[in-house]
Chains A and B, each alone.
Chain A
């Protein structure tokens, strides 16, 4: 008769154990980079045009709300 195979017992991971696993894995594996990091940067002139728009509109709005003009 073949001896019955004993079922494996799954070890319950405590929060401390999980933290230890994460620490170990993050130390060993290289840092993941998001796809967005690989997306081409927005052209400088477009970025600055938008930035100027945001700053100008915000300043104009605040001036309107403070009744400066």
Chain B
């Protein structure tokens, strides 16, 4: 139990430090102070962005030391505690002055529709709480998600070990936008992988709260809580809160950008909101390339608004300039870095456009491969895409990332709903984003930025259902209730296998031996290998190795080393000359699942079978049944 409590404590320190960093900035901007929730959400978000930028600065200066990061975290954390104390004292003073005792009502409009019944909003929030508890339990288990171990955690681990943002030429992801990974680096420096995982869980909670902030001026605060709860109940979002990836982080930032933009453009609460919109948009650009697609959808809606609102044209154009400048200042550094190292700001995408002449990149990766568009690009398929994505998520990246049925069930109800001020503009962004998603890469988790605006619309449909005849309303409400209960139950069921390690009944190491295929090889390597040793690995998951690990598939694509190996015995010499000391061989021996390229294991087997020399020496060998159903043989081999 103690390791989990320590991880939670470290996570709370990071959250408090973010609040401490962000609160003075938000107060200085003079926005987001309508109520405590809005102030807290904006402060934590802006503080996280500031912390990420600080870490980037330290990385560029070569000062990524645990002691430096720890000292800065503690200072920010205590500052945050001071801010909280100050807030409580100010609230106490306000309560004394507020003689009529009216409850705090933030920028809630006087809505002509009834507030949700206490049992209704309470029930949905309870279900959201249950789902969050389930994902929290899963997040307290050591990370085993494939992408996380490949790069979301592996890269920050390498940066921390090298004390700087190094370029890794044989790592395709090393020049991606890595703001979320900077947050994971922060967590790794303070505690470890579990804390990094909790950071993404916290970003999921921030996404839900950002949705509340977004929905409040449209639906009113009480219904906005329902919209936030629905977001966090979305199966894919809740599932991704259990792993340190970046899709939920991206959705949180795009939602905040939309919320700030809405305040500036629709509510017309001041131009300073554009600065916040720019900060959040910059953070989104710094989190994932996909933010460029969101920016395009946003820009299309923005242009539509400029054309429709003559009187606001000047404000909208000024706002666009402010958002663009601030966003590029925050997120642009990652694209400059990629252009510097790879000659392509969005490497490895658009290599057809940014031809660097680097022969090592042949064959170039296709930006829009047909395999990433299961529906093709036929307009008829666009019309049926919502059905296909809901019913067959396994075709679009996996059931684990699915959106659930609630949006597909509720959104057609907009047909009978009255128009609601400010909702159309959100739906415009979501629709434009959906079309671009269809035209580019059809992965269901890439739809997360559209989920919060769609959830706001779904809640509006629920509000309008009050105008139904009672019998129809009861049947529809019963159907939605079943769906919501199922959405809350899934995270709890999924947490069963993590429960023992989360509450401390099972040791984290035993859990990893049981769940993570590369962990045994990593444990052996961490004991036997020296600090300068270098592993060439067929498996992409490298986080648990303390030594340098290079992906064999990227190395082969860039160097074509296999073409130099004409005789079996040449493999060891060739790789040894390239600086490698060990090989991690991983080949599928049974079952379906991901198939690693077998070039290296084939060449190594050829050399091992000659038995002419002892150039290759097996340090460990074992079979592991992976989560994709494949049984793989792992061998850690020393090159002598």
Residues on A close to B: CB < 8 A? 10, 12-13, 15, 18, 34-37, 39-42, 44, 46-48, 50-51, 53-55, 57-58, 60-62, 64-65
Contact = CB atoms under 8 A, between A and B. Distances in A.
A40 B114 contact: no
B409 interface: yes
Main secondary structure of the interface of A (DSSP, over half): helix
29 contacts: A13-B99, A13-B101, A35-B113, A36-B112, A36-B466, A36-B467, A39-B112, A42-B416, A42-B464, A47-B468, A47-B473, A50-B412, A50-B413, A50-B415, A50-B472, A50-B476, A51-B473, A51-B476, A51-B479, A54-B480, A57-B390, A57-B408, A58-B409, A58-B479, A58-B482, A60-B391, A61-B408, A62-B482, A62-B486
A40 B467 contact: yes
Interface residues of B, number: 35
Contact of B416 (A18, A50, A54, A65): A50
Contacts of A61: 390-391, 404-405, 408-409, 483
Contacts of A50: 412-413, 415-416, 468, 472, 476
Given A47-B416, A47-B468, A58-B480, 11 more contacts: A36-B467, A39-B418, A41-B467, A46-B416, A47-B473, A50-B476, A51-B473, A55-B475, A57-B408, A58-B409, A62-B405
Contacts of B464: 42
Contacts of A10: 99
Interface in B112-147: 112-114
B113 A58 contact: no
Nearest to B408: A57
A58 to B, nearest CB: 5
B410 interface: yes
A60 B409 CA distance: 11
A41 B469 contact: yes
Interface centre among A13, A18, A54, A58 (most CB of B within 10 A): A54
B396 to A, nearest CB: 13
A6 B338 CA distance: 75
Contacts of B410: 54
A22 B519 CA distance: 64
4 residue pairs, one from A and one from B, having the closest CB atoms: A35-B112, A61-B405, A36-B113, A47-B472
A32 to B, nearest CB: 10
Interface in B459-498: 463-464, 466-469, 472-473, 475-476, 479-480, 482-483, 486
Nearest to B412: A53
B564 interface: no
B476 A34 contact: no
Contacts of A44: 469, 472
Q: Which of B114, B409, B412, B463 has the most CB of A within 10 A?
A: B409
B431 to A, nearest CB: 20
B392 interface: yes
A47 B391 contact: no
B509 to A, nearest CB: 34
A51 B409 contact: no
B310 interface: no
A13 B99 CA distance: 7
A50 B475 CA distance: 10
A58 B477 CA distance: 12
Contact of B113 (A13, A34, A46, A51): A34
B567 interface: no
Nearest to B399: A65
A58 B467 CA distance: 22
B472 A57 contact: no
Nearest to B115: A34
A2 B479 CA distance: 75
Contacts of A55: 475-476, 479
Contact of A34 (B99, B114, B408, B480): B114
Contacts of A46: 415-416
Contact of B468 (A13, A18, A41): A41
Given A34-B112, A42-B468, A64 B486 contact: no
A39 B467 contact: yes
Contacts of B475: 51, 55
A48 B113 CA distance: 22
B100 interface: yes
